[in-house]
C-alpha cells in the first residue's frame, strides 16, 4: 500500500488543483473532478512511480507530487472513458458523466489534463514532459482503435494487444520511466533525453509496460468472472459495450461455432445492455466462465507478469525492486468463478 505521507501529498495536490485553478464559475467542473478523485482507487500508478525512483537510485527520495500527477492523469482518462462508454458507475460510485452530464465531463477531463501538464512543464525537466505528451497521444490512439473494434468478433489477439498497450500499458510504462528519471536527476543532477537510454531506466519502462499489459488483461478477465461488488462497476460491462477483449477472443477460439453464434446474437442487438439482450449476454458470459477461456487468459497474464519481473533483473537488488516484483506477481492471483 502507499504510505500515509504519500497519500497526504496526493490529497494536497488534489486540493491545490481545486483551490488554485477553479473559480466559482467553474464549480461544476470542480465538483465533477473532485468527486472522481475522492472515490479512491488502488493508487497503483503513483505507487509504481515512487517505487521506480527507489529501485533506480538507491536512497532516492520518492517524488509524491509527480506520483500525484500520474494519478490525476489516470483519473482524467477514466472521466473520458466513461463518456465514451456511457458508463453509470465507476469505483463503486456514480460516474462523472452520469452525475454531471457528458459535456461537463469532457470539459472536466480536459481541464484536469491541461492543469497537470502545465504543472509538469513548470516543475520537471526534459524528457519528462515529452514522455507524458507522447503517452497521452498513445492513449487517445488506443481509444480510437478500441472504438473501431467494437462488435468485431474477428478481432485478432494482436490487435487487442495493440489497443491495451496504448490505452493502459503506456501509462504504467510512463509512471515507471518518469519515476526513474526524476531519481536520476535528483541524485546525479543528470537530465536530458539521453537519460532514457540508461539501462535501469529502460528496464523500469519495460517493467511498467509489461505490468500494464498484465493488469489490463486481468481487468478484462475479472469483468467477465467477478461480481459487481468486487469490480466497483457492473459485471459484464465490456460485453455490454461490445468490446472484444482477450477472454472473449479465447472463448471464441476454444468454444467453436456455438460460442460464435452466441456472440453474433449478442452483438446484433443495437444495445447489448438492453433487457432483451440479457439472455444472449448470459450465454456469452457462461461460455467465457465454463470453457477454456479463463485458463488461456490467465496464462497470458502470467506471461506478461513474468516479463515484468524479468525486466527488473537489470536492477540492483533492493527492497523497492522486491516490492515491484511482488506487485507483478499479485496480478496472477485469480480464482475461477
What pLDDT, on a 0 to 100 scale, did the predictor assign at position 108? 76
> How many residues in the chain?
337
Sign, CA dihedral 137-105-25-19, equals: negative
What pLDDT, on a 0 to 100 scale, did the predictor assign at position 73? 92
Q: Which residues contact 115 (CB under 8 A, 6 or more apart)?
A: 17, 21, 72
Q: Model confidence over 121-156: pLDDT tens digits?
A: 999 989 999 999 999 999 999 999 999 999 999 999
Asked whether the bond before 225 is cis by omega within 30 degrees of 0, the reply is no
pTM to 2 decimal places: 0.90
Instruction: Using alpha carbons only, give the angle 71, 148, 332 rounded to the nearest 5 degrees.
Output: 50
H helix and E strand count, the chain = 16, 2
Question: Do the Cβ atoms of 221 and 294 come closer than 8 Å?
Answer: yes
Q: Model confidence over 181-228: pLDDT tens digits?
A: 999 998 877 677 899 999 999 999 999 999 999 999 999 999 999 876
What is the H or E stretch that residue 260 is in? helix 246-268
Helix (H, G, I), strand (E, B) or coil at 69: helix
Domains of the chain, earliest start first: 4-330 (1.10.600.10)
What pLDDT, on a 0 to 100 scale, did the predictor assign at position 272? 87
| pLDDT tens across the length of the chain (337 residues) | 556 666 666 777 777 766 665 555 566 666 666 666 666 567 899 999 999 999 999 988 889 899 989 998 998 888 877 666 565 554 445 556 655 666 777 777 888 888 899 999 999 989 999 999 999 999 999 999 999 999 999 999 999 999 999 999 999 999 999 999 999 998 877 677 899 999 999 999 999 999 999 999 999 999 999 876 555 556 688 999 999 999 999 999 999 999 999 999 999 999 888 889 999 999 999 999 998 999 999 999 999 999 999 999 999 999 999 999 999 999 999 865 5
What pLDDT, on a 0 to 100 scale, did the predictor assign at position 91? 47
Nearest partner of 44 among 335, 333, 334, 331, judged by Cα = 331
Amino acid at each position: 500500500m502507499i504510505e500515509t505521507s504519500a497519500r497526504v501529498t496526493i490529497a494536497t495536490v488534489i486540493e491545490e488543483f481545486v483551490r488554485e485553478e477553479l473559480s466559482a464559475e467553474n464549480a461544476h467542473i470542480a465538483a465533477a473532478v473532485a468527486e472522481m478523485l475522492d472515490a479512491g482507487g488502488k493508487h497503483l500508478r503513483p505507487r509504481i512511480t515512487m517505487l521506480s525512483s527507489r529501485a533506480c537510485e538507491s536512497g532516492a527520495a520518492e517524488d509524491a507530487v509527480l506520483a500525484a500527477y500520474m494519478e490525476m492523469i489516470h483519473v482524467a482518462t477514466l472521466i473520458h472513458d466513461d463518456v465514451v462508454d456511457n458508463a453509470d458507475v465507476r469505483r463503486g460510485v456514480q460516474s462523472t458523466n452520469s452525475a454531471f452530464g457528458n459535456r461537463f465531463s469532457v470539459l472536466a477531463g480536459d481541464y484536469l489534463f491541461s492543469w497537470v501538464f502545465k504543472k509538469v512543464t513548470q516543475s520537471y525537466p526534459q524528457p519528462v514532459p515529452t514522455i507524458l505528451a507522447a503517452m497521452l497521444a498513445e492513449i487517445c490512439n488506443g481509444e480510437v482503435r478500441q472504438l473501431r473494434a467494437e462488435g468485431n468478433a474477428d478481432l485478432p489477439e494482436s490487435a487487442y494487444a495493440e489497443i491495451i498497450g496504448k490505452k493502459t500499458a503506456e501509462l504504467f510504462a510512463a509512471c515507471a520511466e518518469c519515476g526513474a528519471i526524476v531519481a536520476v536527476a535528483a541524485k546525479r543532477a543528470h537530465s536530458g533525453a539521453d537519460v532514457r537510454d540508461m539501462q535501469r531506466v529502460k528496464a523500469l519502462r519495460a517493467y511498467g509496460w509489461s505490468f500494464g499489459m498484465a493488469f489490463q488483461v486481468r481487468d478484462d478477465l475479472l469483468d467477465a468472472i467477478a461480481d459487481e461488488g468486487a469490480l466497483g462497476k457492473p459485471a459484464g460491462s465490456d460485453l455490454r459495450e461490445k468490446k472484444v477483449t482477450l477472454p472473449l477472443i479465447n472463448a471464441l477460439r476454444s468454444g467453436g461455432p456455438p460460442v460464435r453464434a452466441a456472440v453474433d446474437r449478442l452483438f446484433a442487438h443495437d444495445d447489448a445492455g438492453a433487457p432483451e439482450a440479457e439472455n444472449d449476454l448470459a450465454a456469452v458470459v457462461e461460455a467465457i466462465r465454463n470453457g477454456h477461456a479463463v485458463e488461456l487468459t490467465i496464462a497470458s497474464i502470467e506471461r506478461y507478469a513474468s516479463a515484468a519481473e524479468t525486466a527488473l533483473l537489470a536492477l540492483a537488488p533492493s527492497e523497492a525492486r522486491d516490492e515491484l516484483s511482488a506487485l507483478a506477481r499479485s496480478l496472477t492471483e485469480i480464482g475461477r468463478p
